[in-house]
Amino acid sequence: MNRKIIIPLLVLLLGILRGFGQESRTEFCVGFRVNSTTIDSGFGKNAERLSELLSFLEQIKADSTVRITGVAFCGTASPEGGSQLNKRLAQGRLKALEKTVRGEIPIPDSIVTRNDEYILWDDLAAMVGESDMANKEALLSIIREGTDAVGNSPATDSRIPALQKLDNGKSWRELNRRFFGRMRNACVVFITFRKEPEPEPEEAVTEPEQAAVDTAVITETVAVADTVPAAPADEGWRRRLYVKTNGVGWAMGIGNVAVEADLAPHWSLCVPVYYSAWNYFRSTVKFRTLAVQPEIRYWFDGNNGGWFAGAHFGYAQYNFALAGEYRIQDHDGTSPALGGGVSAGYRMPVSRNKRWKMEFSLGAGVYGLHYDKFRNEENGLPVATVRKTFFGIDQASVSIVYTLDWKRKGGAR
């Protein structure tokens, strides 16, 4: 496809290196759904393309003779939306692919370029030119000769209304059906330089000896090629499980564990369980509880990391005493606190392989309480039964998280 990514200057500047090694240009592209800036590995051929991209980056990291000397990112949109929307979509797609690449390999900003053309009209012209559309010549004339403004609206491209009016909109609908989906992309181009190793001094050998050496080299090369394992498939976004524990709970003497599962890009389900059945050094101080707080989370990043907002349900049995005059316990031990609330938080990796993470969250909720009030002493007598509504902080966590890949049927991850 005829890409207008600004890389020719990089190629010219690096030309002086060709006498000392080999320079290569490698391009990878992924497609996007309508109005989406999330890389979906289940869409089109994205799984295959992402696998090829990640395999390429692994090879670069493993080969000390190769270095990246230039990287160009491109994000594009199809022309049927508004100008501002198309710009945002194109920029969002570019950023999504750039984040994927830079999450796998460090790239200095000084070698990165980004395109500012968000609709690739030349690509559309090439597709129309190769098609059997009835109005091909009229379409090509509009696409190739259009300007970037209509009337007093510099944000509107003249080609769009001209194409929409042609043939009472029939040609525009056919363009949408056949070609617009192929224009919603993000691409990355790598310029790499391979330094040729210094040749080792050769010993003089007779012709029969040289023939034997050549045969051995060929045999060894074939053997190595036959045994190189295939690069593992990687689908980009992967569903993961997270096992974690909350340090704030442990500081209060409450044992706890939580499991979180990715449901989809941007969405996950977290289920924490808290349990305490002991006194704090004396019978008049205790914070006994059995509580669960399942929560649906929305992640602002499509890879389910960084900032999130959540909504949770809460259930808690309790028996509290803080060395004061009274102890409270859910009524008859059969009236747990019930309610729910909202939360916000942030999760970040703390290890090089990104499996270990730290998570911070804070939440507030509303709960209906029905509890008995006792004298805070051994076999203390009941004082009152209380019904009330609690509103306030119901969640605070500083958690250590371990990440697990969620293996699905067929071995996919």
Tokens of 312: 């949770």
Q: What residue ranges of the chain are covered by domains with CATH 3.30.1330.60?
A: 8-195
Which alpha helices (H) appear in 108-178, and where do they start and end?
121-129, 136-145, 159-165, 170-178
**What are the tens digits of pLDDT across the range 296-340?**
999 998 888 899 999 999 999 999 888 788 888 998 888 999 999
Mean pLDDT confidence for 259-288: 90
Mean pLDDT confidence for 344-369: 93
Mean pLDDT confidence for 389-408: 89
| CATH superfamily label, 8-195 | OmpA-like domain (3.30.1330.60)
pLDDT at 333: 81
Q: Which DSSP category does 201 fall into?
A: P
| Phi, psi at 247, each rounded to 5° | -65, -30
In this prediction the pTM is: 0.45
Q: Which residue has the higher pLDDT, 281 or 301?
A: 301
Mean pLDDT confidence for 25-52: 92
User: Per mean pLDDT, which range of 135-139, 183-187, 247-251, 308-312 is the poorest?
Assistant: 135-139
User: For residue 268, with 0-12 CB atoms within 10 Å meaning exposed, 13-18 middle and 19 or more buried, which class applies?
Assistant: buried
Strands (E), 200-239: none
Is domain 240-411 annotated with CATH 3.40.50? no
How high does pLDDT run on average in the chain?
82
**What are the tens digits of pLDDT across the range 206-240?**
555 555 545 444 444 444 334 444 444 334 567 89
Cβ distance 265 to 298 under 8 Å?
no
**What are the tens digits of pLDDT across the range 43-54?**
989 999 999 999
Q: What residue ranges of the chain are covered by domains with CATH 2.40.160?
A: 240-411
Residue 390 confidence (pLDDT) above 50? yes
Distance of alpha carbon 257 from alpha carbon 249, whole angstroms: 10
- Beta strands at 240-246 and 112-114: parallel, antiparallel or unpaired: unpaired
Distance of alpha carbon 127 from alpha carbon 174, whole angstroms: 12
